[in-house]
Structure 1
Amino acid sequence: MFTDALKVLTKEKEPLSHTRSSEGLAFCNRLFELERELKDLSPEDRYTARLEQSRPVLEAFLAWLKENKRAALPKSPLGKVITYCLNQWPRLEGILLDGRLEISNNRAERGIKPFVIGRKNWLFANTPKGAKASAIIYSIVETAKANGLSPFHYLMHLFEKLPNMDLTDPVAMENVLPWSKALPASCFSGAKPLV
């Protein structure tokens, strides 16, 4: 979002070396840089490292946002970005509460991208039931991918197991969920786990 504000400045031919938009972008870039450095840590170690390294950057960024909110015009690109950041602040601070949380929702957005791109082609989804069926199948497929499963093989496993299962048995249902350790090796055939 700060990059959008910088694009407006570029069009206006203002110097970009030291603008408020570039300062805001620098905070964001630093936070993402820290996340790249911490990505291979366990959730517990990432949590601890975030408290030590990311918290000071977040505190400085919040102070910067509050200070610059008063100076930026509310309807200007920078003013809109600052307002957006402040409105989303509780979600961003969530990374300080749990090492499993990611700093952005890019993975989730990539997961729904095939659905968004293809939705115009799926005429069967022109009814609420069609849309619900489409949402269910895409949720299953993308969750399978996120857990390192081959969607095709996982769906085949579900189609074989579910008709013969007691769907009210929570233990039986837990054994067919995409993160279950009880899944057969065939479900992982050709799978490419998300990174």
Structure 2
Amino acid sequence: MKQQDVLHADETSYQVIESDKTKTYYWQFCSGNSEKRQIVLYHHAETRGHEVPLGFLDGFKGYLHCDGWGAYHLLPEITLVACAAHIRRKFYEAIGNKKQPNQSSPAYIGYRYWQKMFQLERKWQALTPEERLTARQAELKPVMDAFWQWLENANILPHSKLGRAGEYAAKQRQAMMEIFNDGRLEFSNNKAECMIKELVMGRKNWLFSTSLQGATSNGVILSIMKTAELNNLDVRKYLNYLFREIPNLKVVDSSTLKDYLPWSETVQLHCKQQ
């Protein structure tokens, strides 16, 4: 994963009975849509501090899609890419009456800017990265530049919901503008949001882990299963294949296990979805 150019990241809270802390966290990292090999990893840790992604992504020097959580801003040699969905959501939350919004209100105006940008992005989903970059520079950038200019001149109360939306957007400006440098980058971090929902939905059923080791193991199992799914494998076939083959290996190390990763030709031959 660290050899790839574009990654997404997100994190969510989790309860472990054995832990002294009220909350622990799953950190989720996944490959960008442009990457040939799709990987998702659920890494359990007792903290939400920057030391977790700092250690986990040690050696990674590419683009990282993320939200505004401060831990990501302390990572060296990594280019952060902001999430337009988070910016839009904060303006939407500031509108107030969602059924009959005041269309002249600053909250609604800010929200409409981002709605317009999302509409443009949807038109370019099937384009190559090069084509998408050209389209963004020609059509999206003028709209985004107009939003930043509007935000600078808007009369917004600093501690209101709208004020917090404007402050969040301003802090994300530099990271948001990265999408005009590389067409492989996504307009939002929705991929990571969707990937972590797998864990959140499961958590509602099993509620917690008793031990820290159990939480770690849970993350490993989910990582294997979800990565298999992203690489078009039948997850049940893949797990059966691993359980059948790996115990019979004479040597189990990083070299031999490469043949059992989801994208290997042998695994694709035996476990591909029908």
TM-score range with shorter-chain normalisation?
A: 0.7 to 0.9
* 118-127 or 129-138, which deviates more: 118-127
Cα 1:150–1:105, aligned 2, differ >3 Å: closer, same or farther? farther
Q: Is the 8 A contact 1:5 1:78 kept in 2?
A: yes
List runs of 5+ in structure 2 lacking aligned partners.
1-89
Larger radius of gyration: 1
Are the structure 2 counterparts of residues 90 and 128 from structure 1 closer, same or farther at C-alpha, using a change threshold of 3 Å? farther
Report deviation, 1:15: 6.2
Of the structure 1 ranges 139-148 and 42-51, higher mean CA displacement relative to structure 2 is found in 139-148
Q: Which residue of 1 aligns with 2:91?
A: 2
1:154 correspondence with 2:238: yes
SS of the residue corresponding to residue 18 of structure 1 reads coil
Residue 79 of structure 1: CA displacement? 0.5
Q: Shift of the alpha carbon at 1:183?
A: 3.5
Cα separation, partners in 2 of 1:76 and 1:115, compared to 1, 3 Å: same
For 1:43-192, what aligned pairs fall within 5 Å after superposition? Answer: 43-68=129-154, 71-122=155-206, 125-163=209-247, 164=249, 166-169=252-255, 173-180=257-264, 183-190=267-274
Whether the 8 Å CA contact 1:124–1:130 is kept in 2: the answer is no
Say what the alpha-carbon RMSD is for the aligned residues. 2.7
Question: 2:121 aligns to what?
Answer: 35
How far off its partner does 1:61 sit? 1.7
User: TM-score, with normalisation over the residues of structure 2?
Assistant: 0.58
Separation in 1 of the partners of 2:245 and 2:183?
35
Residues 15 and 159 of structure 1: CA distance in aligned 2, closer, same or farther (over 3 Å): closer
Q: Which runs of 5+ in 1 are unaligned?
A: 191-195
Q: CA deviation at 1:95?
A: 1.9
Question: Contact 2:232 / 2:273 at 8 angstroms: preserved in 1?
Answer: no
Give 1:182 deviation, angstroms.
5.4
Q: Give the CA deviation at 1:102.
A: 1.6
CA drift at 1:179: 4.2
Q: Give the distance between the partners of 1:167 and 1:154, measured in 2 at CA.
A: 19
Separation in structure 2 between the aligned mates of residue 142 and residue 77 of structure 1, nearest angstrom: 37
The answer on whether the counterparts of 1:47 and 1:99 sit within 8 Å (CA) in structure 2 is: yes
Q: Is the 8 A contact 1:150 1:187 kept in 2?
A: yes
| Aligned residues of 1:31 and 1:54 also touching (Cα < 8 A) | yes
Q: Deviations over 1:92-144 (max 9, x none)?
A: 22322322222122222222213112225437722111111111222222233
TM-score calculated relative to the size of structure 1: 0.78
Output the CA distance in 2 between the equivalents of 1:133 and 1:168.
Answer: 19
What's the offset of the Cα at 1:43?
A: 1.8
% identity of equivalent residues? 38
CA contact (8 A) 2:132 2:183 kept: yes
